[in-house]
């Protein structure tokens, strides 16, 4: 069953095609990798999928619904969540409250209940706190719940950003270079966590990374982008042995 269907989307900046006729189909439950050299257009694709940019052409379907041109908020509510190359946390909020912000996407109480602090408000807050701790435990962050997110080590900040995105209950989770800046042991731990998240929460994942070997070790399929166009697409062993992919990465 198709979770994401992207049909010939493209966008230009100042006459330059940043992404040109990009098409991809990701089935429910898949862990798909999007790779390419620096400047290939990977993050631009994520920005198109999440409404940061509006495509000049093409269409985007999520779980059968056309989400082309919707706002970032509408797309998030439709079921797409993401992380960023540069970590974006609420630095002056605790680890717990960062995740609860994500939970507010699907857990609501009336304005009156919030203002008057009615019993329904406290019940909902208690339920969200319980949900947040459950998510934090998956990322081994539950013991850090009361710490300001700004005071977390870098690797834990990366994990917290994924935890907060997951708290919005997405159908599709977009991870933009989640292992950037991590040492090898941190990277391996994160990859294990991503596998666990996919299985535990039944979420479909599209992962951007620059490291081909890392992506090949975790993803079932790989899409290679270069200069905004498709270079290769398929099983890891086929993609990594593709002469055009090797040439692009070696810069020959």
pLDDT tens figures, 61-100: 999 999 999 999 999 999 999 999 899 999 999 999 999 9
The Cα 154–Cα 200 span in angstroms is: 25
Q: What is the pLDDT of residues 187-233, one digit of tens each?
A: 888 899 999 999 999 999 999 987 777 888 899 999 999 989 999 99
The Cα 33–Cα 161 span in angstroms is: 19
pTM: 0.90
Domains of the chain in start order, with CATH, are 1-79+171-252 (3.40.50.300), 88-169 (3.40.50.300)
The Cα 250–Cα 5 span in angstroms is: 31
> What local confidence, expressed as pLDDT, does residue 46 receive?
97
In the chain, % of residues over pLDDT 70: 92
The Cα 3–Cα 182 span in angstroms is: 30
DSSP single-letter state for residue 52:
S
The Cα 50–Cα 70 span in angstroms is: 8
């Amino acid at each position: 069953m198709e979770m994401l269907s992207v049909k010939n989307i493209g966008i230009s900046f100042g006459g330059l095609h940043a992404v040109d006729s990009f098409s991809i189909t990701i089935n429910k439950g898949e862990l798909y990798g999007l790779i390419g050299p620096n400047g290939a257009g990977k993050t631009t694709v994520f920005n198109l999928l999440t409404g940061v940019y509006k495509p000049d052409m093409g269409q985007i379907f999520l779980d059968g619904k056309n989400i082309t041109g919707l706002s970032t908020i509408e797309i998030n509510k439709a079921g797409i969540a993401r992380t960023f190359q540069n970590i974006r946390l609420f630095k002056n909020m605790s680890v717990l409250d960062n995740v609860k912000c994500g939970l507010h996407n699907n857990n609501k109480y009336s304005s009156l209940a919030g203002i008057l602090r009615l019993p329904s408000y406290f019940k909902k807050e208690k339920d969200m706190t319980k949900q947040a701790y459950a998510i934090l435990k998956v990322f081994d962050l539950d013991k850090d719940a009361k710490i300001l997110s700004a005071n977390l080590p870098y690797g834990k900040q990366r994990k917290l950003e994924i935890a907060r995105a997951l708290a919005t209950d997405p159908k599709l989770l977009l991870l933009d270079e989640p292992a950037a800046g991590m040492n090898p042991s941190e990277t391996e731990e994160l990859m294990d966590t991503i596998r666990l998240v996919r299985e535990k929460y039944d979420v479909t994942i599209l992962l951007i990374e620059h490291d081909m070997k890392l992506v090949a070790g975790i993803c079932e399929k790989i899409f290679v982008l270069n200069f905004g166009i498709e270079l290769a697409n398929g099983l890891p062993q086929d993609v990594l042995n593709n002469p055009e992919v090797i040439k692009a990465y070696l810069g020959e």
